[in-house]
Amino acid sequence: MAEKLNLEIVSPDKMVLSEEVDEVVATGSLGQFGVLPGHLAFLTTLDVGELSYRKGGATYYAFVNSGYAEVSSDKVTILAESAEKAEYIDLQRAEEARKRAEDRLSRATSGSETIDEKRAEVALKRSIIRLQVGGKVEHR
């Protein structure tokens, strides 16, 4: 049985990460799931969320903006719409995005303008999670 997992995260415009890791925890569309070496092969869609992986004693974080995960006994492949390692997240930009999304959402609920409420909600969720993941890198 495999001892390690080969984790690969790719987004349409580049390879974000490719590493040997011990454990992966990701956010599936049906909730969080953890993968250890020797996992049963499965395929799932991913929600906007946090992905963490353990390598040696340290845990690392990354932001994944929806996509798919293909899991086999020694490999985890994440096909993400977009993804960033925690240390590359631009907190300031994420914060601005959050404010913008909140603003749009409040205007949408007041009904004064025609704003796609669902889109604003997704944008808000994305920016909040991005902030969360980005915040984790400093406390390490």
* Cα–Cα distance measured from residue 120 to residue 1, given in angstroms and rounded to the nearest whole number: 45
According to DSSP, the β-strands at 14-21 and 75-85 are unpaired
For the CB of residue 14, give the shortest distance to other proteins in the complex, in Å.
Answer: 4
User: In this chain, which stretch among 9-17, 50-58, 85-93, 105-113 interacts with other proteins, using CB under 8 A?
Assistant: 9-17
118 near other proteins, rule: CB under 8 A: no
90 DSSP assignment: -
Residue type, 122: V
45 near other proteins, rule: CB under 8 A: yes
For the CB of residue 77, give the shortest distance to other proteins in the complex, in Å.
Answer: 6
6 near other proteins, rule: CB under 8 A: no
12 DSSP assignment: T
Name the token pair of 66: 């929806």
Which residues contact other proteins by CB under 8 A?
Answer: 8, 10-15, 28-30, 40-45, 68, 70, 72, 77, 79
